[in-house]
Amino acid sequence: MKLKTFLGGIHPPSHKNLSAGKKIEEPPLPKTVCIPLAQHIGAPCEARVEKGQKVKKGEVIADSQAFVSAPIHASISGTVTAVQDYPHPSGKKIKAVIIESDEKDEWFREPKNGQDPLQLSSEELKKKIREAGIVGLGGAAFPTHVKLSPPKEKNIDAIILNGVECEPYLTADHQLMLEKTEAIVKGLQIILRIMGVQKGYIGIEVNKPDALKAMKKATKGLSNIEVVGLKVKYPQGAEKQLIKAILGREVPPPPGLPMDVGAVIQNVGTAYAIYEAVTFGKPLIERIVTVTGRGIKEPKNLRLRIGTLFSEIINYCGGIQGEAGKVLMGGPMMGLAQYTAQVPIIKGTSGILVLSKEELASGESKHCINCGMCVRACPMHLIPSSLGTYCEKDLFEEAEAAHIFNCIECGSCVFVCPANRHLVQMVKYGKSAILAAKKQQQQKK
């Protein structure tokens, strides 16, 4: 049978064998956590605690009045030693609450079995999700209660759980699907109830046959949930490509969103967090992270407290092996390079990747040879070579006319380019220059 997929894309080596199949471990409690006040798309939070204050695990330490935001909770119990600017995985310094552990790991409110979530109303469920500080755990970190509140005129008829994990090296979602299968399915049922939608899908690439089998078994008899095996191709897990593969629908260009074609996508990790939040009242204080790469001695899948430092986790995994070439948050395609390992795990951290010198792509960037390989690879049907040239020459009107804002920065073009053109870097530069110019124009009005 022909497997479902999208047009374009690439087949990078997966490197998943480094951590695949490794059970989720929980390292010892961190002595200190640094919890940034900006961990999601939308308004950053304001601190609700001050230096010297004692806090317990799960207590709200920061929040915002804005709708597009989510509260932040203490991930350990202890004393707030500072509220100060701190290195953030985005590369900036961002205000963070620093907590020193009292080593008691006491809950503010112990999670316990509450009312059956499927008996609660949509509004009650969304309130619980907001209170638990849940954001999209696939990396985008968009507040979940907002994503589950589309405007009334949008006719949502499909919820898709994203279990694709197409980024090379990462295996956290895969392992979670094996260890928490039932909970993820229950999370999807809760989302279906919230949205009043009849049909849910779980999309998984066929290179995870054990996860596909487990999900099919867990959904047997549930006629409203379909588990879909997808072709192994990057970026199959990108929202638009996942919708195309499963529903055959095209999301319109920006500002078009999945809800414009009746779909809402949630990561499997988010579904699990939703289940825990509404069933037990557990806030998002930890997440599953893959720590991997040939620069790491013992790659692992770990359950980590938000705010734990990368350096501490790298040490727990045996430390650096040989000469580390680069440390990234996330995978090699869309991950963020880190200038220091003194950055904390945030809600959007799916992986810590330590690439060895040998794993790093090398070679100077040369002139484009017009081979067209980037065009064939682009899942958004753009002409990456032209976008790169326009941005390089500051031809921003031309870049906009060539649909630069449709680019999802997946890096497929860079992967195939024989001239090592830094196309994503150029596109990012072009996008920010265009947005800055627009902002300036608006301010003048």
The residues that touch ligand SF4, with contacts defined as CB under 6 A, are 368-374, 377-380, 382, 384-385, 387-388, 407-413, 416-419, 421, 423-424, 427
Pick between residue 343 and residue 407 the one whose CB is nearest to ligand SF4. Answer: 407
- Comparison of 119 and 370: residue with beta carbon closer to ligand SF4: 370
State in angstroms the smallest separation of the CB of 253 from ligand SF4: 12
Q: Give me the sheet containing 72-73, strands edge to edge.
A: 46-47, 60-63, 72-73
Residue where the block lists tokens 């849940």: 134
Cα 91 to chain centroid distance, Å, stands at 17
Residue closer to ligand SF4 by CB (options 269, 384) is 384
| Distance of closest approach, residue 361 Cβ to ligand SF4, in angstroms | 13
Taking residue 12's Cβ as centre, other Cβ atoms within 10 Å add up to 19
As a whole number of angstroms, the distance between CA 317 and CA 298 comes to 5
* Alpha-carbon distances of 154 from 122, 144, 210, rounded to whole Å: 16, 17, 35
Q: CB of 301: closest distance to ligand SF4 in angstroms? A: 27
Work out how close the CB of 394 gets to ligand SF4 at its nearest, in angstroms, rounded to a whole number: 18
Nearer to ligand SF4, 341 or 378 (CB): 378
Contact 381, 202 (CB under 8 A): no
Nearer to ligand SF4, 13 or 254 (CB): 254
Quickly count: other Cβ atoms within 10 Å of residue 192's Cβ: 18
Element containing residue 384 per DSSP (H, E): helix 384-392
Q: How far is the CB of 367 from ligand SF4 (least distance, A)?
A: 8
Q: Which is nearer to ligand SF4, 317 or 427 (CB)?
A: 427
Looking at the Cβ atoms of 309 and 417, the one nearer to ligand SF4 is: 417
Q: How far apart are CA 45 and CA 40, in angstroms?
A: 9
Cα–Cα–Cα angle for 338, 340, 342, rounded to 5 degrees: 115
Residue number with CB closer to ligand SF4 (54 or 403): 403
Structure tokens at 281: 């009242």
Minimum distance from residue 267 beta carbon to ligand SF4 (Å):
20
**Hey, which residues does 85 pair with through a beta bridge?**
95
- The minimum distance between CB 317 and ligand SF4, in angstroms, equals 30
Of 55 and 243, CB closest to ligand SF4: 243
Residue 43 burial (C-beta neighbours within 10 Å; 0-12, 13-18, 19+): middle
Residue 81 burial (10 A CB sphere; 0-12, 13-18, 19+):
middle
Q: Which is nearer to ligand SF4, 74 or 377 (CB)?
A: 377
CA dihedral 51, 56, 62, 68 (to 10 degrees): 170
Residue 389: closest CA among 398, 380, 378, 401: 398
Least CB distance from residue 385 to ligand SF4, whole Å? Answer: 4
Minimum Å gap between C-beta 98 and ligand SF4 is 36
Q: Is the dihedral of CA 355, 356, 359, 364 positive or negative?
A: positive
Query: What stretch of H or E contains 286?
Result: strand 286-292
Closest separation in Å from C-beta 406 to ligand SF4: 7
3-state SS assignment for residue 19: coil
